[in-house]
Structure 1
Amino acid sequence: MQDGPKRVTTHGDSERPNLARLFDYYLGGAHNFAVDRAVAEESIAKFPVAEMARTIRSFSRRVVRLCVEEYGIRQFLDLGSGIPTAGNVHEVAQALDPSCNIVYVDNDPVTVAHARTMLRDNLNAAIVQSDIGDVGAVLRHPETRRLIDFTQPTAVLMVGVLPYVTDEPAGVVARYRAALCEGSILALTHLTKDMEPELVGRLVEVSAEMSSELVPRSKQDVEEFLCGLKLLEPGLVLAAHWRADGELPGTSAAADASTYGAVGMV
């Protein structure tokens, strides 16, 4: 059962919709306000955005379980995390091993305020407020240094965030990859422009209405991000089908076809 929200005392803004709170609502979380719910329901009526969100979250859960159970990874850096609720990384990883350390990164102060309130009693999880494109700032942040030892295998998750990186996204991915030691994992998803152009176009429009640029990319573009990694089977595929093992989240065919996913080992 999803816990009720803890009170956010800083940066809270209940008058304007917020992308992270919309995503939280799509996932069935409790960290959203009436204005978010109204916008979310309007979007849901137009296209399967909630199913798309659940597809991405399902992929993330599968990756985290794989990292802990099969590769013994106990450190996670979740970039562009949003509000860490509704089955996010620390919930999945620490349910398997409470010693897992998680650092979330987001540049939105509303998101960070929610997350810090939620995580204040969890000594093994923290959120860093930073633009993920400023790789050095993320890696040098005191909370990152406290919780992650990059000489040990680490999982870097770039789930749902790369479409918001408009300035040299391949270079951003490469700089995080360069910080990882052998045996580490890098996982990503990306909105595709190869399929479902009407659905993807609507999502881009909604994001623009929230003053956030969203860039879908082709499979060839995403393959460039994965250079230098040993891709785990089945490679770069639709995220909904990456090692789904019967866990398909019941999405529409259009939602399934909107997002690529891949996991690579350093």
Structure 2
Amino acid sequence: MQDGSTRVTAHGGSERPNVARLFDYYLGGAHNFAVDREVAEETIKKFPVAEMARTIRSFSRRVVRLCVEEHGIRQFLDLGSGIPTAGNVHEAAQSIDPSCSVVYVDHDPVTVAHARTMLRDNLNAAIVHSDIADVGAVLRHPETRRLIDFTRPTAVLMVGILPYVVDEPAGVVARYRAALCEDSVLALTHLTRDVEPQLVQQLVELADDMGSALVPRSKQDVEEFLCGLRLLEPGLVLAAHWRADGELPGASAEADSSTYGAVGLV
């Protein structure tokens, strides 16, 4: 990216490609800039990153429906949410029951600014500006405390975020799990090199170019994160196939094989 491609934006600072806005573009959202679209289109030519984004978002929607319709859960904590764009958690949950409350968490100030604008008229949804690894700060935040009562069943979603947790990800998962009462749900996806190592290496290099560390992990590694949970069928599998029920998002075989997914009861 040439220096001349930056400009001042409404959210302050220089406009540079942003991971959350790239994800928004891949999902067909409108919260992205020309510089994001340029990078996204270049990336799409190289590998199926848009299909991978849709695979993850489809998994998230299925989990939300399961929580609301089958488990009676009305509270959601979406960690590392990015911009709550097309098919987001609050829309999926509140379309079934408008009383559902959703707290998004993200550490990127640009993402948080976008999200606050989008959510300003929704009293049952908010975003917390925090690093998800600072579990105490997330759980004690006034917006979290306003919208989530952890004495009641809650769904914690870690969809696509754990590869960005470089240090002690199992400990981070365990601390959120410890905050949940019985019959709560913890759902996660995780990037893996197990099936498509060359494709995933390209993603790692792309993230590095944008200043982010991305750590794929094996199925055995991810199983450690799920220790102590009662996994719902079909257990830890490729996210594209977790209770897909004909809803596979038309991704390529490569995209389908890059991410594990699982849902567990506390």
Question: Is TM > 0.5 for Structure 1 vs Structure 2?
Answer: yes
What are the within-5 Å matches in structure 2 for residues 1-266 of structure 1?
9-11=10-12, 13=14, 15-266=15-266
How big is each residue's C-alpha offset from its partner over 1:118-154, in whole Å with a ceiling of 9 and x where there is no partner?
0000000000000000000000000000000000000
Q: CA deviation at 1:11?
A: 3.8
Amino acid in the other structure paired with 1:55: T
State the distance in 2 between where 1:11 and 1:119 align: 19
- The percent identity for this pair of structures is 85
Equivalent residue of 1:96, what SS? coil
State the distance in 1 between where 2:41 and 2:198 align: 19
State the distance in 1 between where 2:246 and 2:159 align: 21
State the distance in 1 between where 2:57 and 2:13 align: 24
State the distance in 2 between where 1:114 and 1:9 align: 10
How big is each residue's C-alpha offset from its partner over 1:200-243, in whole Å with a ceiling of 9 and x where there is no partner?
00000110011000000000000000001000000000000000
Q: CA deviation at 1:193?
A: 1.6
How big is each residue's C-alpha offset from its partner over 1:95-116, in whole Å with a ceiling of 9 and x where there is no partner?
0000000000000000000000
Runs of 4+ in structure 1 deviating by more than 6 angstroms, as ranges, are: none
State the distance in 1 between where 2:196 and 2:151 align: 41
Equivalent residue of 2:233, what SS? coil
Equivalent residue of 2:95, what SS? helix
State the distance in 2 between where 1:74 and 1:64 align: 10
State the distance in 2 between where 1:48 and 1:253 align: 10
State the distance in 1 between where 2:142 and 2:23 align: 28
Q: Gapped runs of 5+ residues in structure 1?
A: 1-7
Q: CA deviation at 1:10?
A: 3.1
Q: CA deviation at 1:12?
A: 6.4
TM-score computed with the length of structure 2 as normaliser: 0.96
State the distance in 2 between where 1:161 and 1:82 align: 9
Equivalenced residue count is: 258
State the distance in 2 between where 1:220 and 1:98 align: 38
How big is each residue's C-alpha offset from its partner over 1:69-108, in whole Å with a ceiling of 9 and x where there is no partner?
0000000000000000101100100000000000000000
State the distance in 1 between where 2:176 and 2:228 align: 12
State the distance in 1 between where 2:167 and 2:115 align: 26
TM-score computed with the length of structure 1 as normaliser: 0.96
Equivalent residue of 2:200, what SS? helix
What's 2:3 paired with?
A: none
Residues 46/184 of structure 1: CA separation in 2 closer, same or farther (3 Å cut)? same
State the distance in 2 between where 1:239 and 1:218 align: 14
Tell me, yes or no, if the aligned pair for 1:196 and 1:257 is still in contact at 8 Å.
yes
State the distance in 2 between where 1:11 and 1:265 align: 41
State the distance in 1 between where 2:13 and 2:98 align: 30
State the distance in 2 between where 1:171 and 1:193 align: 22
Q: Gapped runs of 5+ residues in structure 2?
A: 1-8
Equivalent residue of 1:208, what SS? helix
State the distance in 2 between where 1:87 and 1:114 align: 16
Q: CA deviation at 1:62?
A: 0.1
Tell me, yes or no, if the aligned pair for 1:12 and 1:110 is still in contact at 8 Å.
no
Tell me, yes or no, if the aligned pair for 1:11 and 1:113 is still in contact at 8 Å.
no
How big is each residue's C-alpha offset from its partner over 1:145-181, in whole Å with a ceiling of 9 and x where there is no partner?
0000000000000000000000100000000000000
